[in-house]
Amino acid sequence: MNKEVTEFIKDKTLINGQWLEAISGKKYPVFNPATGEQIVLVPDMGQADTRLAIEKAEQAQKLWAKQTAKQRSIILKRWAQLVETHLDTLATVLTLEQGKSLAEAKGEVTSSINYIDWFANEAMRINGDVLPPSAEGNFEFVKKRAVGVVAAITPWNFPNSMIARKVAPALAAGCSVVIKPAEDTPLSALALATLGEKAGIPAGVLNVITASSGQEVGQELCSNPIVKKLSFTGSTEVGKILSRQCADTVKKLSLELGGNAPFMVFDDADLDAAVQGAVAIKFYNSGQTCICANRLLVQDGIYDAFINKLQAALSKLHLGNGLNPETTHGPLINEKAIHKVESIVKKAVDQGARVVQGGTSLPDIGKQFFNFSILADVTPEMDIFKTEIFGPVAAVYRFKSEEEVISLANSTNYGLAAYAYTEDKGRIFRLSDQMEYGMLGINTARFVSETVPFGGVKESGIGREGSVHGVDEFLEMHYVCIKN
């Protein structure tokens, strides 16, 4: 490991401008999922540490919100520049703790730079309204104010960009943040915090709590009345628990939860483009994203051709340690994830699915590698239709008509991302109208950027991240009426 990477791997965490151990003195190990080796021990924090961070964040927020928008913007810009300067190092830290290929890791850190830069600009555009008077002589206006202390709980699949996408708009709005990164991947959060501190983010405005389990820290973040907002990305199951925990103190919520993305390929599609899209979005991050294609719904006439081409495309990918230059795809995050994907595949096969390729883990490469897999003859009656796979398994369903596939695609409690490949213009408009999803890609599968309002409907979440709407999640309106 080169010296700069070592310098960014922290064994303490940042609270109120100080790099601290847990009050209890406890630590827990972070592992490299490609090799199983321990990278470092980090503080294993609990309720007392969380409470301390929240209290310090409250003090710091008052001063941070008083700074001008321009001052906050300049600091965020500096943060983005520092992340850019250290892009390669942050990507290496990300690959070490998460497993994804270095190319994907660089893409992720680049998106963090874009988010921070975008919200540095948005900080300058937080305007209010002057209203037409509701009575003669009144002066009425609406100010937008920072909500206050924000709790951010983030997942392990994008340990770098999920921090940027939450912290940058919060800071732009004038909030302070207590971050609880996922237990498997705290190092990217700590590396970003290091650079945030260097960029001039004041002590207490950005705090990180590392912990081997989310429960105790989450309980404090959700029940403490000082925290005014929770921004969470993770599973729908945990999102529901956190919403309940936040109810007693009526916190503002942003929830980015699970998905069950349909990927529809019609007979008239450009088949090569569809296959390319399927590879890109099904196998992105080894299938471990909430917008990964979860159900590949392919029309009867091209079903076999699609599977043949998909198989050919997969033969060009390389599974391995993300640090190797030839690796395109890395391991799954932990052994639990391997067992989960194994059991999903087994159940589908027991229920009648056919393994075209893969379907098993690859212990010869490492304990946490799962083969690129294709399951054919999958039907909506099987359990896999309702399950978020979170692994490199393409489940391919067959459909006959447009009406049938729209109904199938929408028959889920989730509503995050959907994809369709077709050349029929009328159908494109019908899909735009009828798909019950927060985001729809037509003839494209990779569209997420800082300009996009990322988020879902139904049980996929509440609120949007990124775009011109992203900063609103961290603001509240304050109406004033002055009687003359």
Q: Would you please indicate which residues are annotated as catalytic (active-site) residues?
A: 256, 290
Where helices occur in 268-389 by DSSP H, the ranges are 271-282, 303-314, 335-350
- Decide if 31 contacts 37 (C-beta within 8 A): yes
CB closer to ligand ADP out of 180 and 458: 180
Beta sheet of 354-357, edge-to-edge order: 354-357, 373-378, 393-399, 293-299, 261-265, 417-421, 439-442
How far, in Å, are 262, 289, 386, 436, 478 from residue 407 at the CA level? 11, 24, 14, 10, 42
CB closer to ligand ADP out of 221 and 302: 221
Secondary structure class of 436 (helix, strand, coil): coil
Q: Which amino acid is at 172?
A: A
CB closer to ligand ADP out of 152 and 275: 152
User: Smallest distance from the beta carbon of 42 to ligand ADP, in angstroms?
Assistant: 13
The values of phi and psi at residue 202, to 5°, are -65, 155
CB closer to ligand ADP out of 180 and 309: 180
User: Smallest distance from the beta carbon of 214 to ligand ADP, in angstroms?
Assistant: 2
The tally of CA atoms less than 13 A away on the side-chain side of residue 1 is 17
Contacts to ligand ADP by CB under 6 A: 153-155, 180, 182-183, 214-215, 218, 234-235, 238, 241-242
- Decide if 107 contacts 70 (C-beta within 8 A): no
- DSSP letter, residue 245: H
Residues facing residue 129 across a β-bridge: 142
Residue 102 has a CB neighbour count (10 Å cut-off) of: 19
Secondary structure class of 446 (helix, strand, coil): coil
- Decide if 53 contacts 220 (C-beta within 8 A): no
CA angle 74, 79, 81 (to 5 degrees): 95
Q: Which two tokens stand for residue 152?
A: 């951010």
Where helices occur in 86-213 by DSSP H, the ranges are 87-98, 102-122, 161-173, 187-199
User: Smallest distance from the beta carbon of 234 to ligand ADP, in angstroms?
Assistant: 3
Alpha-carbon distance of 382 to 353, in angstroms, equals 9
User: Smallest distance from the beta carbon of 101 to ligand ADP, in angstroms?
Assistant: 20
User: Smallest distance from the beta carbon of 155 to ligand ADP, in angstroms?
Assistant: 4
CB closer to ligand ADP out of 342 and 476: 342
CB closer to ligand ADP out of 214 and 358: 214
User: Smallest distance from the beta carbon of 338 to ligand ADP, in angstroms?
Assistant: 14
Helix (H) and strand (E) counts in the chain? 14, 20
> Which residue's Cβ has the minimum distance to ligand ADP?
218
Identify the CA nearest to 114 among candidates 162, 63, 80, 89: 80
CB closer to ligand ADP out of 338 and 435: 338
- Decide if 179 contacts 192 (C-beta within 8 A): no
User: Smallest distance from the beta carbon of 14 to ligand ADP, in angstroms?
Assistant: 17
What angle, rounded to 10 degrees, do the helices at 187-199 and 69-85 form?
130
User: Smallest distance from the beta carbon of 18 to ligand ADP, in angstroms?
Assistant: 23
User: Smallest distance from the beta carbon of 327 to ligand ADP, in angstroms?
Assistant: 22
User: Smallest distance from the beta carbon of 73 to ligand ADP, in angstroms?
Assistant: 29
- DSSP letter, residue 432: H
CB closer to ligand ADP out of 213 and 432: 213
Maximal C-alpha separation, the chain: 79
CB closer to ligand ADP out of 153 and 394: 153
Please enumerate in sequence order all residues whose Cβ is within 8 A of that of 276, keeping only pairs 6 or more positions apart, or say none.
Answer: 313
CB closer to ligand ADP out of 82 and 417: 417
Exposure string over 176-212, b if 16+ CB within 10 A, otherwise e: bbbbbbbbbbbbbbbbbbbbbbebebbbbbbbbbbbb
